[in-house]
Structure 1
Amino acid sequence: MATDSRMLCTALRNRLMSAADAAALIPAGSTVGMSGFTGAGYPKAIPAALAERIEQLNNAGEEFRINVWTGASTAPELDGKLAAVNGINMRLPFQSDPICREKINNGSMDYIDIHLSEVSQYAWSGFLGKMNIAVIEVSGVLEDGRLIPSSAVGNNKTWIEQADQVILEVNSAQSAGLEGMHDIYYGTALPPYRKPIMISQPTDRIGEHYLHCPADKIIAIVETSAPDRNSPFNPPDDISRRIASHILQFFQQEIAIGRMPKELLPIQSGVGNIPNAVLEGLDAGPFKQLSAFTEVIQDGMLAMLKSGTLTAASSTAFSLSPTAMAELNTNIDFYRQRIILRQQDISNHPELIRRLGVIAMNGLIEADIYGNVNSTHIMGSRMMNGIGGSGDFARNGYLSIFVTPSTAKNGAISAIVPMVSHVDHTEHDVKILVTEHGLADLRGLSPKQRAHQIIQKCADPAFRPALMDYFERACASGRGMHTPHLLGEALSWHQRYEATGHM
C-alpha cells in the first residue's frame, strides 16, 4: 500500500489487488452495478481490465457478457470499452456513449430507459432481478471502514445494499476535500413503511457524510489515481443566448406578476450548452440569492456559486469541464459549504421536487404543435441517450421549461413538428417551450390555443407556413376539434426526412 493511500482500513488491506485480478472475480452472465453519473464518479480501472478479459475470452470462442446498471451515463472508459467488446447484454437506466447507442439501435444490446428517481425502488422491489456485484468508486476508506463517496453518488447506496458482493476502486485523484460534501440518507423504505423525507429547502441535510458497506461483502479493493471525464462545454452561441434571454425575460415577468419571489424558486438544469447559457444569463442578470435542487452541477452553477448569485446547490453529481474541475479542486473548501451531493432517489425525488416548487429546465429532440415532447428517440425508433431525470422534474416541477434550437441538421429538420415521433413528456407536463425565436407559455391553454402559441412563437419561420397549413386542414377535417390531427399526415414530416433528407 502506497504511503499516500486513501485506503486506511487495516482490516481490509488483504483485499487490495490489481484491476485485472478484481475483474477476474466478475463472472459471465452476472449483473453488475457500476458507480457513475454524467461522467463523474465511475470506476476507472476495473471496466477496462474486464473489457480486456472479455475480448480475450470472446476471441477464444467463449461468449462473455454482463448486465450493467449505473446511476446515469458514465464515460468511454466504462460504457465505451465494455460495449466495444460486446460485453454488455443489458444496460440501464441512462447512457450517452456512441458505441452503446449504436449497439442499442442495431439490436445487439438490450436497454431499459427508466426515470432516474425510480431505479432504486425498482431494484429494491425486485423488478430488475438480482444484482450480483457492485463496482463502486470512492475517494477514500476510513480506518473504521466507512466509505467517502466520490464526485457522484447516484445509485451507489442502493447498489452496495443490493449486491451480493462489492468491489471498491479507491481513487486518490478525487479531491480529499470532497469529504463532508455528501448527504447520504439511510431512512428510505418501500411502501407501506415510508416516512416523510424532511427536506424543506435545498440546504437541508438529513443524512450523513459516508456510505456503509459490510466488510464481508467487499471482495476486492483497487487503488487508482485517475480523473473523471471532464468534457469542455462550447461557449454560448447566438442561438443559446437568444433562448436564455427569452427565459430571463419570462422570469422577470413572473416576478412582476407576483407568481415567483425575486429569488425565484430552486432551479434544476439539464446538461449542455443551452442550459449553461441560461445559467450564465442568470448570473449576469438581476437575480440574487438563488438556490438549486438539481441532479447535476455543471460549469454555470459553479460560476454562480462563486459569484454569490447562487447561495447553495443540492445535486447527485458533477458534470464539469476541465477548467471548472480545476476551479472546484482549488477552492474545494469554499464549495463544500455550498454544495450537497445526495443519492439520486433523493435528488430526483418527485415529492421533494413538487413541494420545493422547482423550476425545471431541460432539452428536447422535438416537440409537436400541442406541446408533447420527445427527448429520447431520433425519428421515433433510434435511441439517443435516454429520459434521464427530465421526467422526474418535468412532471413535478412548479415550472417545466423545455428548450431547443428551432431546427437541426442545418435547417433540414424542424424541432417543432405536427406530431412527435415518440412521447416522453406529454402535453400535460410541458408548461413552457422555448426556441431562439420565442417562448410559448402553455399554461391554461387548450390544445388548439397551444398550437397557435407554439407555431407562432417557437417554430422556425421557414416551417411556420407548413405547420399552420397542417393545423388548419386538421381543424377543417371534421375528425374532431379538441386535438385536431390528420392521421395520414401526422408523421409525414419524419417520413419525408428519411426519404429525402429534409422535412
Structure 2
Amino acid sequence: MMNTRVVAAGLRKRICSADDAAALIAPGMTVAMSGFTGAGYPKTVPPALASRIDDAHARGLDFRINVLTGASTAPELDGALARANGITMRLPYQSDPTLRDKINDGEMDYLDIHLSHVAQNSWSGIFGEIDIALVEVCAIRDDGKLIPSSSVGNNKTWLERAKGVILEVNRRQPLELEGMHDIYYGTALPPHRVPIPLLRSGDRIGERYLHCPADKILAIVETDASDRNNEFTPPDATSRQIAGNLIEFLRHEVAMGRLPKTLLPLQSGVGNITNAVLSELGAVGFAGLTAYTEVIQDGMLDMLQNGTLTVASATALSLSPSAFVRFAEHIGQFHERIVLRPQEISNHPELVRRLGCIAMNGMMESDIYGNVNSTHVMGSRIQNGIGGSGDFARNGYLSCFMSASTAKNGSISCIVPMVSHVDHTEHDVAVLVTERGLADLRGLSPKQRAQQIIARCADPAYQPMLQDYFDRACHQSFGKHTPHLLKEALSWHERYIETGSMRS
C-alpha cells in the first residue's frame, strides 16, 4: 500500500480487483468511460467486463450496455466489448475495426455527433441516466481531488452525472501531468449561461483537478498500463505535397494581410496528412504559433520542442509510443505550454469563433460544389465519425479540408459530382486541398466553385469525367444555380460498388 497513488486514506478501502469492479456493472446500464483518441481510457476493467459478458452469453443470458466516451479509445475497451457483443449503443466517435464492423452490420446502434454537443446533451438528459462513470486518473490526492491523466474528454461531466463511479488509478501515467489540466466548472445550460472567460489559447480559467464526492466512488482499481496509439508513419510524397499546397496558401494569406505572421490558433484533426502539415510548418520558417485544438499529435509536440509553437491547448495527448516517451522525459519543457481541458471547452463554438481558429481536417470526399463527407464510405458504411471537425469547420476563421485526390490505387475519386453523405455543407468549407492543388472557395458562387475544384483538386484521370458531368448539368439540370443531373449524381458510387472502380 505504500506505493499506492490513492493518497486519500479514506478511499483506500475501496481498492479492488478489475473483476470485482466489473461486477458492479449490470446488463442494460449506461456506462460513461474516459478516453479520447487512444489516450486516458480505462485499461483493465473493460476487458474484465468483456469476460463477464462472454460468460453470460455462454449461459444464454443477454448482457449488453450503452457506452459513452470522449472519443475513440483502444482495443482493450472498444475492441474487447465489441468482440463480446456487449454494446447496445455507442457514442460519440470510434475507430476500432471490430466495433466498426458491428455498427455497419447493424448489430449495434451508433450515435455520431459533434463532440462539443455531448456534455450538453448529457446534462439535458438526452442519453438518459448514467449509471456508472469509469474514469482513468493519475492519482487521488489526500484531499480527494483527482489528478487527470493524458486526456480529459468528457470526464468532468461523467463524474458529475453518474450515479456511481469506478476509478482506474494508472501509475504509468506521469505524475508530472499534475497542473497541466484546466478543468472549467463554469458551464451551464441555457438560459443560465454566462460568457466563458477565455481570450487566448493558453489562458487558464479553471482548476487543476477533477472533483468527485467520495460517497459516489464505488471502486478503485490500480493499473500500470500505457496508452495505446500507433506510431505515425513518415509523411509520404502525397501528404507532403498536400501540406506544401496548404502552407503556400497560408503564406499568401499572410502576404495579403488576412492573417498575421504568427497565423491564428491552429486546430488539427487526427491523421497523417494533418500531422504532415504540422511538421512542415516548422520546417518552412513559421514561428510564434499557437494551437487551440482537440489533440496534441507528434507533429505538434515537435513544434513545441523546436519553438515553432509557443502554447497548445487540447483535451488529449494523442501521441505515438515513442513520442509519449519523449514527452515524459522532457515533461518540464511542456508543463506550462500545454493546457488540457474538458472537450466541451476545447471544442466550444463560442471559443473557436472568438479565437479565430484555422481548422485543418481530413475528408473522405468532396463534391464539385464543396460539400464534404468525412464519415461514410459509399454513403452508408461509417468509418470513424465526425468527431470535432464540425465544431471547428463551422465556427473557425478558416476551414480547410484535405485529402489525396484518389483512393484505392485510383479506383476511387475523392472529388465526385455529389458526395454520398454530407457532414460539412458547402457553407462551412472555405478551402479544399489535395496533392493536385488548392481551391479557395471563399466568395465564389456554386458554379465558380465547381470549376475551381475540378481544375485544381481533381486527379487528371477524373477531370474530364467531372467536367463532362458539370457541362451537361449546366444545360440539362432542373435549375441552373447548383446544376445537378439527379439520375447521375451518385452513379460514380454505384459504379464502384458494382465494378470496384469509379472510372467509366
Q: Give the shorter-chain TM-score range.
A: over 0.9
Distance 1:381 1:280, change over 3 A: same
Counterpart of 1:97 in structure 2 is 96
Question: Would the aligned equivalents of 1:419 and 1:491 in 2 still touch at CA under 8 Å?
Answer: yes
Secondary structure in 1 matching 2:486 = coil
Return the letter of the residue paired with 1:286: G
CA contact (8 A) 2:477 2:485 kept: no
Question: Is there any run of 5+ residues in structure 2 with no aligned partner, and where?
Answer: none
**CA deviations over 1:362-405 (Å, ceiling 9, x no partner):** 00011000000000000000010110000000000100000000
SS at match of 1:104: helix
Q: Equivalent residues in 2 for 1:22-421 (5 A)?
A: 22-421=21-420
Aligned in 2, Cα 1:123/1:478: closer, same or farther, shift over 3 Å? closer
Q: Please state how far the C-alpha of 1:333 moved relative to its aligned partner.
A: 1.2
Q: Distance in 2 between matches of 1:244 and 1:366?
A: 18
Aligned counterparts of 1:405 and 1:397: Cα–Cα separation in 2 = 23
RMSD over aligned Cα, in angstroms?
0.5
- 8 Å CA contact 1:230–1:325 kept in 2: the answer is no
Residue 308 (structure 1) shift:
0.5
Q: Counterparts of 2:125 and 2:281 in 1: how far apart (Å)?
A: 43
CA contact 1:265–1:358 (8 Å) conserved in 2:
yes
Could you tell me how far apart the structure 2 residues matched to 1:369 and 1:154 are? 35
Which secondary structure does the structure 2 equivalent of 1:242 belong to?
A: helix
CA distance in 1, matches of 2:325, 2:13: 34
Using the alignment, how far apart are the partners of 2:375 and 2:175 within structure 1? 36
Q: Please report how far the alpha carbon of residue 322 of structure 1 lies from its aligned counterpart in structure 2 after TM superposition.
A: 1.2
In structure 2, C-alpha distance between the alignment counterparts of 1:309 and 1:179, rounded to whole Å: 25
Q: Does 1:455 align with 2:449?
A: no
Aligned residues of 1:95 and 1:385 also touching (Cα < 8 A): yes
1:127-156, CA deviations, whole angstroms, 9 ceiling, x for partnerless residues?
111110000000000001000001000000
Kept in 2, the 8 Å contact 1:33–1:135? The answer is yes
Q: 3-state SS of the aligned residue for 1:51?
A: helix
Distance 1:187 1:74 in 2: 27
TM-score (norm 2): 0.99
Q: 1:478–1:22: structure 2 CA closer, same or farther, 3 Å change rule?
A: closer
- How far off its partner does 1:462 sit? 0.3
Instruction: State the partner residue of 1:438.
Output: 437
Identity of aligned residues (%): 67
> What residue in structure 2 maps to residue 482 of structure 1?
481
Letter in structure 2 aligned against 1:394: A
Task: For 1:230 and 1:103, locate their aligned partners in 2 and report how far apart those are by CA, in whole Å.
Answer: 22
CA distance in 1, matches of 2:195, 2:315: 20
In structure 1, runs of 5+ residues without a counterpart are none
| Deviation readout 1:312-348 (Å, 9 max, x if unpaired) | 0000001111111011000111111100000000000
Once residues 480 and 108 of structure 1 are traced to their aligned partners in structure 2, the CA distance between those partners, rounded to angstroms, is 41
Task: Tell me the distance in 2 between the aligned counterparts of 1:334 and 1:246.
Answer: 31
Deviations, residues 390-433 of structure 1 (Å, cap 9, x unaligned): 00000001000000000000000000000000000000000000
Q: Distance in 1 between matches of 2:360 and 2:3?
A: 42
Q: Which has the higher mean CA deviation after the structures are superposed, 470-479 or 182-191?
A: 470-479
**3-state SS in 2 of match to 1:49:** helix
Paired with 1:210 and 1:85, the residues of 2 have a C-alpha distance of 34
Deviation at 1:283, TM superposition (A): 1.0
Give the distance between the partners of 1:102 and 1:171, measured in 2 at CA: 30
In 1, Cα distance between the equivalents of 2:227 and 2:66?
A: 23
Equivalent pair of 2:34/2:40 in contact (CA under 8 Å): yes
Q: Give TM-score scaled by structure 1 length.
A: 0.99
CA distance in 1, matches of 2:133, 2:367: 41
Shift of 1:230: 2.4
